[in-house]
Each structure stands twice: as C-alpha cells, then as structure tokens.
C-alpha cells in the first residue's frame, strides 16, 4: 500500500507558522493587559497608600509574558527589591492592624472584560 503525502509538508509548515503567529499575538495581548493592570494598580496605590507608602506605587511592575506548550502567563505586582515594594502583601491583603487596600485586585477586575475581549478577538482572527 502506498499513499501520496506530498501535501503534508505544506500543512506542517502552515501549522508551524500559525503557531508562531499565535504565540506572538498572545504575548501582545498579555503584555497589553499587564501594562493596563500595572498602571491601574499603581494609580489605585497612589490613592490608597497616601503618605505612609509614597514609593510603593512605583514598585508595581510586570515580567515579560511567557507563552509555551503549558499555557501563557505574566507576573504582575510589587517588586520586592524596589523602594517599599516589600510592603505589597501588607498593603494588598491587610494585616492585624491594617485593612486590605485591594489595589491589585481592583486593577485585575477592571482589566478582566478588556482582556477577555482581546482573547476572543485573537481567537476569531486565528480561526
């Protein structure tokens, strides 16, 4: 038995290009969402931290997005090595004498509809 498989190379090449394009666009969507969350988180922190943590808002950052076979993610939050960045857990979640500010949580909630809209648009464009 024999089979003509000459078209398989073209299909494999097309799928490889499509996969690379999907990774690129996924990184773009994640980077835009991360930037939005970072900006909103810092703005929330400026409003809530007041005079007690004036440097904390500048500690909010994000790492470049990671896209791979296991999924895609980006890490956003205070840089513990930056001025007042180590206060992140206390300010975000509160403590025994301090209420939680939820600056990052509010920023994440604000970005959620925009992010899912961008993911939906990405999926439609790739299909």
| Other C-beta atoms lying within 10 Å of the C-beta of residue 88 | 23
Alpha helical stretches, state H, 6-102: 6-49, 88-93
Specify the pairing of strand 60-62 against strand 71-73.
Answer: unpaired
Output the pTM of the full model.
0.85
Q: What does the mean pLDDT of the chain come to?
A: 92
Reported as a single tens digit per residue, the pLDDT across 27-84 is 999 999 999 999 999 999 999 988 889 999 999 999 999 998 888 999 999 999 999 9
Task: Give residue limits of the domains in the chain.
Answer: 6-126
Residue 1 or 97, more confident: 97
């Amino acid at each position: 038995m024999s089979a003509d498989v000459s078209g398989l190379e073209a299909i494999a090449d097309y799928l490889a290009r499509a996969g690379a394009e999907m990774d690129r666009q996924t990184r773009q969507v994640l980077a835009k969402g991360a930037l939005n969350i970072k900006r909103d988180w810092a703005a929330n922190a400026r409003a809530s931290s007041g005079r007690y943590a004036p440097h904390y808002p500048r500690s909010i950052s994000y790492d470049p997005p990671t896209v791979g076979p296991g999924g895609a993610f980006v890490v956003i939050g205070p840089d513990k090595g930056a001025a007042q960045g180590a206060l992140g857990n206390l300010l975000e979640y509160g403590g025994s004498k301090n209420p939680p500010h939820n600056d990052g949580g509010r920023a994440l909630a604000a970005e959620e509809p925009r992010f899912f809209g961008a993911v939906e648009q990405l999926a439609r464009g790739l299909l």
